[in-house]
Amino acid sequence: MELVKLLTDDDGYKIDKSKWHYVVTFTDDPTTLCSDEFFGIGQSSCTYKEKTVERGGITCERCLKIIKEIKDIKL
């Protein structure tokens, strides 16, 4: 599972208390699950850290809420 921590926003402002977000790659351009914030070379000018984990590691409350809501869907 891919995670990202945004250190600055697209305007170059530092993000205080940055959290680890789940990375969505439904398109060719990676974004955060909770805010659809694009990141990466050629996508935006924000700075970030990435990491890959087997399980856990997400610290963004909004990402966790979205994931829990999706898991609650009964098909």
Total structural domains in the chain? 1
Q: What percent of the chain has pLDDT over 90?
A: 71
For 30, the domain range is 2-71
β-pairing verdict for 2-6 and 48-52: antiparallel
- Which pTM does this prediction carry? 0.88
* Burial class of 26 by CB neighbour count within 10 A (0 to 12, 13 to 18, 19+): exposed
28-63 residue pLDDT tens: 789 999 988 888 888 888 999 999 999 999 999 999
